[in-house]
Structure 1
Amino acid sequence: MLLLGNGHLVTHEKEKGFIENGAVLIDGKVIKEVADTKTLKKKYPDVEFIDAQNGLIMPGFINMHNHIYSTFARGLSINGYHPKNFLDILEGQWFKLDSEMTNETTYHSGRIAYLESLKNGVTTMFDHQASYGEIEGSLDQLSKAATEMGVRTCLCYEVSDRHGKQAANQAIEENLRFINKVQNQTSDMQKAMMGMHAQFTLSDETMEKAVGKTPEGVGFHIHVAEGIADVHDALHKYHKPIINRLFDLGILGRQSLLGHCIYINPQEMQLIKDTDTMVVTNPQSNMGNAVGCPPTLRMMDEFGIVCGLGTDGFTTDITESYKFANLIYKHTLVDPGAGGTEVPEMLFANNPKMANRYFDTKLGVIEEGAAADVIIADYQAPTPITADNVNGHILMAVNGNNITDTIINGEVRMRNKEVLNVDEDEVYAKAREEAKKLWSRINN
């Protein structure tokens, strides 16, 4: 057993979401007991104790949408790349990059992404892979990297017709192979979805094939209306809004995850709600790509849609998305109060709720029987921390750099900022070697 205490304990449990000088007892893969530090130290005097030193003890963060393959885009310069709009960004950078990704590249990008996730306190990541340079076996490479770093993950491969029917069929089969693989595992550390790029690169034939082959209980992870061109494409080719097309093809549903949803109308929002489909927003990425601000607050407040937060490959630190979400809605709506309740709800309540549609062990909360995914942040507050303002402290002053300890599935993965059983120098050195090869292939 392991006892973490002497900190401001943020449980996110409904009845008692905050305990001053709280402690959490971990037994195996789950949380056994939660109380004040004095009580648990007296009750379990011989258990190994990790002292939070008056910092924050919290459930591990969950990232609901990421692109690990973007890892090696950091610092990348592509010859002749001068984007004027979002389609230029996709075609000029991301499609070129994923076309040159091999399984070796995927593996090393995965090691970096999962390593940096656990260092940032992200204990669960939903990823959306694309590597059209080598499709078959690519999800195994990410699975291997996740296992090495000990991060909980849900994976899928991005099906698209942009490389032709043969590649699209291979992408479908890669998803199915990995779905079948994780369904036969007893561990609750890895899950799978059927990944799709976006409707404007997918024919009805390809989507129908993917839907027809996807096992019951497995949903779809797809980008929706991230740019206005996606909307125009659906209306021009299929004479219907994007969400209507996805509904007609059987893609919406409780297990499905829609990324972005920037340009959708109220009727589409109602379809999302009626089908209990999940939406994940990525504010930092949206601002970087200059695609606009999604109507997330309306989706949540007016329609009751479950909306969460992701990083979309922009970073592995989900607290950055938390901060950018707080700003983008205020700025866009010219309302200083916008997002005050909805943004914390997305990260602290909805991300766990969404993740638990795949993972069986309760995530995102510190309570008896929940997953032993716990982090400590070195944060010494200049003002009082209370149950009413702790989310504000995290918003204004806590980021991934504050995380000192990360426990995932009951295993200590980082202690005092030292990642255990991982040679970080080797991981980064191998990554730099692989990145150079990738950059060379892209610019040849």
Structure 2
Amino acid sequence: MLLIGNGHLITRQKENAFIENGAVAIDGKTIKEVGQTKDLKAKYPEADFIDAKGGVIMPGFINMHNHIYSTFARGLSINGYNPKNFMDILEGQWFKIDSEMNNHTTLQSGRVSYLESIKNGVTTMFDHQASYGEVSGSLEQLSNAADEMGIRTCLCYEVSDRNGVKPAEEAIEENVRFINAAKARKDDMQKAMMGMHAAFTVSDETFEKARKVTPSDIGFHIHVAEDIADVKDSLHKYNKPIVNRLYDLDILGSKSMLGHCIYINPHEMKLIKDTDTMVVTNPESNMGNAVGCPPIIRMFNEFNIMCGLGTDGYTQDITESYKVGNIIHKHHLADPTVAWAEIPAMLFDNNAAMANRYFDTKLGVLEPDAAGDVIIVDYHAATPMNESNFNSHILFGMNGANVTDTIVAGDVRMRNREVVGIDQEEVYASAREEAVKLWNRINK
């Protein structure tokens, strides 16, 4: 048994959400009990004790939309790359990167991304893979990396017609293969979705091929209306908005997740709500790509859509997305009252609810039988911290670098900022070596 105590305990329970000098007892892969440190130490005297030393103990973070393959874009300079818009960014950078990714590159990118997730307190990650340099077996590489680092993950491969019919079919097959592999696991650590790139790079025929082989309990993970060009493409080719097209193709549903949704109209929002489809917003990425600010506050408040938060490959530190999400909507709407409640609800409540549409073990809360996914944050408040304001303390006082300990499914993955059982220097050295090879292929 593991006991983590002597900290400000944020449980995320609807009642008893905050315990001063609290502790959490983990038995096996799940939580046994939460309470006062003194009480649980007396009750479980033989438990291995991790001392939070007055810091904050809380559930591990969940990242609902990421791109592991973006790992090696850090520091990359591409010959002739001078983007003027989002389509230039896709074609000049991301499509070039993924076209040169082989399985070894994918493995090394996964090792770094999952390692840095652990270091930033992210215990569950939903990823959207692209590696058209080598499609087959790529999700297995990410699965191996996730197992090595001991993190929960839900994987998919982005199907696209941008490289032709055969690669698109190979991408569908890769999704199906991993869907079957994930279903065969019994540990509730890895799940799968059917990944699609974006509507403007996927034909109706390819959507129908994917739909035909996707099990009924598996949804689609797809980018939607990230740029106005996506909207124009749908209207021009299909004479309908993107979400309407996805509805007609039977892509929407409670297991499906739409990334971004920046340029959608109220009718599309209603379709998303009526089909109980999920939406993930990625504020840092949207600002970085200069694609606009999504109407996520309206989706959340007016349409009651299940909206979550992701990083879109921009970072492994989702507290950054929390901070940017808090200010981008205030700036965009010129309203200082918005985003205070909506963004933390997406990150802390909805991300867990969305993830639990796939994972069986209850996530995002510290309570009996919930996942033993716990982090300790080295944060000592300069002002009172209590049940009514702990989100504000996270927003303004913490970031991923403050995480000292990360426990996933009851296993200690990082202790006192040292990742357990992993040679970090080897991981980063191997990544740097692989990055040079990838960069040379891109700029050949």
TM-score range, shorter chain: over 0.9
The answer to whether 1:38 aligns with 2:38 is: yes
Partner of 2:63: 63
Post-superposition shift, 1:45? Answer: 1.7
Measure, in 1, the Cα distance between the counterparts of 2:149 and 2:86.
33
Partner of 2:336: 336
Partner of 2:314: 314
Deviations 1:360-416 (A, max 9, x none): 000000000000000000001111101011000000010110000000010000000
Deviations 1:49-69 (A, max 9, x none): 111011000000000000000
Partner of 2:49: 49
The answer to whether 1:3 aligns with 2:7 is: no
Partner of 2:283: 283
Paired residue type of 1:407: I
Secondary structure in 2 matching 1:182: helix
Secondary structure in 2 matching 1:328: helix
Partner of 1:136: 136
Secondary structure in 1 matching 2:94: helix
Larger mean Cα displacement after TM superposition, 40-49 or 303-312: 40-49
The answer to whether 1:431 aligns with 2:435 is: no
Partner of 2:374: 374
Measure, in 2, the Cα distance between the counterparts of 1:310 and 1:328.
15
Measure, in 2, the Cα distance between the counterparts of 1:343 and 1:172.
33
Post-superposition shift, 1:46? Answer: 2.1
The answer to whether 1:221 aligns with 2:221 is: yes
Deviations 1:88-119 (A, max 9, x none): 00000000000000000000000000000000
Post-superposition shift, 1:48? Answer: 1.2
Deviations 1:137-196 (A, max 9, x none): 000000000000001000000000000000000000000000011111111000000000
Measure, in 1, the Cα distance between the counterparts of 2:16 and 2:330.
30
Partner of 1:360: 360
Measure, in 2, the Cα distance between the counterparts of 1:160 and 1:46.
54
Measure, in 1, the Cα distance between the counterparts of 2:344 and 2:181.
35
Measure, in 2, the Cα distance between the counterparts of 1:185 and 1:346.
29
Deviations 1:4-29 (A, max 9, x none): 01100000011111111110000000
Partner of 1:22: 22
Matched positions, count: 444
The answer to whether 1:412 aligns with 2:441 is: no
User: Any unmatched runs of 5+ in structure 1?
Assistant: none
Measure, in 2, the Cα distance between the counterparts of 1:306 and 1:341.
14
Alignment of 1:285-304 (within 5 A): 285-304=285-304
The answer to whether 1:86 aligns with 2:69 is: no
Secondary structure in 2 matching 1:154: strand
Measure, in 2, the Cα distance between the counterparts of 1:297 and 1:385.
27
Partner of 2:351: 351
The runs of at least 4 consecutive aligned structure 1 residues that moved more than 2 Å come to none
Paired residue type of 1:228: I
Deviations 1:208-236 (A, max 9, x none): 00001101100000000000000000000
Partner of 1:158: 158
Paired residue type of 1:283: P
Post-superposition shift, 1:317? Answer: 0.5
Measure, in 2, the Cα distance between the counterparts of 1:254 and 1:307.
12
The answer to whether 1:109 aligns with 2:109 is: yes
Post-superposition shift, 1:43? Answer: 1.1
Partner of 1:168: 168
Post-superposition shift, 1:310? Answer: 0.3
Secondary structure in 1 matching 2:236: helix
Partner of 2:211: 211
Structure 1-normalised TM-score? 1.00
Measure, in 2, the Cα distance between the counterparts of 1:101 and 1:48.
43
Post-superposition shift, 1:37? Answer: 0.6
Secondary structure in 1 matching 2:79: coil
The answer to whether 1:99 aligns with 2:99 is: yes
Paired residue type of 2:121: G
Partner of 1:232: 232
Q: Give aligned-pair identity as a percent.
A: 72
Secondary structure in 2 matching 1:294: coil
Partner of 1:184: 184
Structure 2-normalised TM-score? 1.00
Paired residue type of 2:50: I
RMSD, aligned α-carbons = 0.4
Post-superposition shift, 1:76? Answer: 0.3
